[in-house]
Chains A and B, each alone.
Chain A
Amino acid sequence: MNNEKQTMRDCFIEGLCSKMEHNRGLFFLCADFGSPKLDRLRESFPDRFINVGIAEQNLINVATGLALEGFTVYAYAIAPFLVMRAYEQIRINLSLHAQLKEININLVGVGAGLSYDVSGPTHHCLEDITIMRALPNVEVISPSDWVIAKKCVDYSIKVKKPKYLRFDGKPLPRIYDINSSEKIEEGFCELKNGANVCFVSTGYMTHKAIKAADMLKNQGISAGVIDMLLLKPVRADKLYKTLKKYAALIVLEEAFINKGGLDSLILGILNSKGSNIKVKNMGFSDSYVFEMGSRDQLHRLNKLDQDSIIKEAKKLLKQ
């Protein structure tokens, strides 16, 4: 079966475009950042599309004013600039406001993790899970493929809250069936039901987790894969029920580890349940990536390559 690679942003924007035809309450802002599919949107809806310029702070503030007046707003930019340049705007105008008023603002950030591999550390986005999870009243959604990214369209309209959509920047094959009934509301999906060890991953790393699980299977080890779609809010009880059948977990994220990301989320749940499941966190340690190379090469340098993942899984099982 054909599994063509696609970008999350194109699939999302295409889906949104069809919604905008019938729903006049949708407004799209961007900070001078495009996509092939965005061209159609801006041509079709010139009165509900604005490029605010390279001005992420104003992107968030204008989005807030529109949302306070009842529009469902999309604020689209390169992920690290969207959430880090404008973090205080997000804190004041999305997080604080949303506790008092209904506002539906969707921060659509493109370039999660090392999507922009060769652009260097200014364009890498390794802090966003941590800092966005810190904000009350803001949801964090992290699709692993374009099928889920497309599902974000309906979800973004239905759930009237500020949200951060963490999109990968590269075209990726799909993981989910085109007609998948998976719901973002469920929070996570157990893609593979294993027996010994389980990979808990999000975004791009779910692709690597699936490969690692397949490789381990060939070596006689049954590994599960849990794809985390919602990093906030988390359905802790339901997730724990799935986690507790495993003796060991490998948490995989293309983000800094040991500072509040997916790993902290999982450890927090295990701790609150008094669990003794063994956990290994894999991601980026406490330094930026200045080295040049492809995403795979940069992963190897940071011990996030396929071999390192498998090695850690086996090591953990032996402990």
Chain B
Amino acid sequence: MAMSKNIKKTDKFFENLKAKASWVRVETIKIHKIAPETRLASSLSAVEIFTVLYYGKLINFNSKVINSENRDRFIISKGHGAISFYPILADRGYFSKAELLKVCKEGSILGGIPDPIIPGFETINGSLGHGLGVGCGMALALKRKKRKEKVFILMGDGELYEGSVWEAVMFAGEHRLDNLILVIDNNKVCMLDYCKNILDLSPLGDKFKAFKWDVKETDGHDVKQLYGSLRAFKASANGMPKVLLANTVKGKGVPRLEIDKLSHIKNLTAQEADLLIADLE
């Protein structure tokens, strides 16, 4: 009896995560309608990742004391794909929801690419390949300070072309930074083509394993799978940094973008956005 009650509760938990993800997707499209210069497709592939982290109680945060020592650190290394994180931060109380209506407008704190002037963003990103190395420094500092907090990093798969990433991959494995959890939004598309047509990154998991990382792979839009993998990673102190290859679809939720290898640079018309919003709501 207790068992089935648990499952029921868990189901509700995941239904709630799905509903939240759906809301985030709609809000993201609304933001893009206001600010068409934002990178929509890159932001849509990460919706479930952001949602599970911030509504699944995986990340400890305190929106009232932003630099609280006992917060988990979260670096969004793929800064261009972060407009879908704005509605979450607003909803979680980092800033007013009214800000979401002013993205990229004069006086707004929310730009096309986020900066730490936005409460909830830890680091400067936008130029790719910096987040993992900085995250290594943070993870190392937390270990030296004997603190239990984790460092989460979100990176795109295209970002893996940056050499600095691999300097950090080597470093994290060698220094056994098991308090570092890297999530790769593996949407398989760069700006101009599918990654496999540029420089094939596969076998990606094996590459990380070779550098002494703990590797998991999951459907990056399945909240249950995402939650399970991240929960397990968070609980594990096995002396290995963690990487979750979250297989996603660039432009997820917008059929036209999902099949377009140039989705990175595609915008929606206002009409398209309205139709999608009506459909998703």
| Chain A interfacial positions (CB closer than 8 Å to B) | 27, 47-48, 50, 52-53, 55, 57-58, 60-71, 88-89, 92-93, 96-97, 100-101
Cβ 8 A contact of A100, one of B115, B127, B140, B171: B115
Q: Is the CB of A65 within 8 A of B163?
A: no
Name the residue on B nearest A24 (C-beta).
Answer: B144
Contact among A52, A65, A92 for B124, CB-based, below 8 A = A92
Q: How far is the CB of A69 from chain B (nearest CB, A)?
A: 3
When distances are taken between beta carbons in the complex, the residues of chain B under 8 Å from A57 are: 129, 133, 163-164, 167
The 3 A-B residue pairs whose C-beta atoms are closest, nearest first, are: A65-B137, A61-B133, A69-B141
Q: Look across to chain A and name the residue whose beta carbon is closest to the beta carbon of B151.
A: A65
Give the distance in Å from the alpha carbon of A68 to the alpha carbon of B142 in the complex: 11
Describe A's contact surface by its main secondary structure. Answer: helix
Compute how far the CA of A66 lies from the CA of B136 in the bound complex, rounded to whole angstroms: 8
A65 touches B140 (CB 8 A): yes
- Minimum CB–CB distance for A139 against chain B, Å: 19
Q: A65-B136, A100-B117 are in contact. Are A58 and B171 (CB under 8 A)?
A: yes
Chain B interface size, as a band, is: 20 to 34
A53 to B136, CA, bound (A): 14
Min CB distance B154 to A, Å, is 16
Distance from A270 Cβ to chain B, minimum over Cβ atoms (Å): 36
- Complex: A53 Cα to B175 Cα, angstroms: 12
Chain A contacts for B142, CB-based, 8 A: 69
A89 vs B139: C-alpha distance in the bound complex, in angstroms? 18
Q: Which label, helix, strand, loop or mixed, suits the secondary structure of the B interface?
A: helix
B262 within 8 A of A: no
Q: Closest Cβ of chain B: how far from A42's Cβ, in Å?
A: 15
Instruction: A55 to B129: give the CA distance in the assembly, Å.
Output: 14
Residues of A within 8 A of B124 (CB): 92-93, 96-97, 100
Check B251 for interface membership: any CB of A closer than 8 A. Answer: no
User: Do B116 and A65 touch (CB < 8 A)?
Assistant: no
A58 touches B136 (CB 8 A): yes
B137, B144, B171: which contacts A68 (Cβ < 8 A)?
B137
Bound together, the chains give a CA A139 to CA B170 distance in angstroms of 31
Residue B59 at the chain A interface, CB threshold 8 Å: no
Asked if A66 and B117 sit within 8 Å, CB to CB, the answer is: no
Whether A64 and B134, one on each chain, are in contact in the complex, defined by CB atoms closer than 8 angstroms, is yes
The residue of chain B having its C-beta at the shortest distance from the C-beta of A54 within the complex is: B167
* Residue B120, interface by CB 8 Å: no
> Which residues of B lie under 8 Å from residue A50 when comparing CB positions?
140, 175
Residue from A60, A65, A96 within 8 A of B141 (CB atoms): A65
Interface centre among B124, B139, B140, B142 (most CB of A within 10 A): B124
Q: What are 19 A-to-B residue pairs whose CB atoms are below 8 Å?
A: A50-B140, A53-B170, A55-B167, A58-B133, A58-B168, A61-B133, A61-B136, A64-B133, A65-B134, A65-B135, A65-B140, A65-B141, A68-B138, A69-B141, A92-B127, A93-B124, A93-B130, A93-B134, A100-B124
